[in-house]
Amino acid sequence: MRALMSEDHEFVDAGDGHYSGRDEILKGWPDYYDIFPDYAIEVSEILEHDDRVVVFGHASATYRNLKNPANSNSWRIPAAWKAIVRNNKIAYWQVFCNYSSIHEIMLRNDPG
């Protein structure tokens, strides 16, 4: 991922959280993959215009309850992503999806 991102990369999650700087953003991914070890993006369509790219498809993963691994559940949701490309690097990446079903799974399986 590091090779694809600009140094000043900005990431915007589905909850409108903003994160800046490639190195800072990369520090957070191991924690995300601990919880969703098989996270995947399935691409169904890509639209490009100048330096802008929009990707449509699905995101999926298994929520791994770290406190109680028996309480793990898979999910798959429709999603879209917006990218801005500068100098052949992704400078901006934004996720659009409804994470409510994922939050429900997490709360149901780890209410504390």
Smallest CA-to-CA distance from 7 within 94, 91, 84, 93 is with: 91
| 27-45 per-position pLDDT tens digit | 989 998 998 999 999 999 9
Of the options 3.40.50.9100, 3.10.450.50, 3.40.50.11890, 3.55.50.30, the CATH number for the domain spanning 2-109: 3.10.450.50
Q: What is the pTM of this model?
A: 0.85
| 55-95 per-position pLDDT tens digit | 999 999 998 877 776 666 889 999 999 999 999 999 999 99
Residue 11 confidence class, pLDDT cut points 50, 70, 90: very high
Q: For the chain, what are the domain ranges?
A: 2-109
Residue 18 confidence class, pLDDT cut points 50, 70, 90: very high
Distances 88 to 36, 51, 92, 95 between C-alpha atoms, Å: 28, 9, 12, 20
Q: What is the pLDDT of residue 105?
A: 79
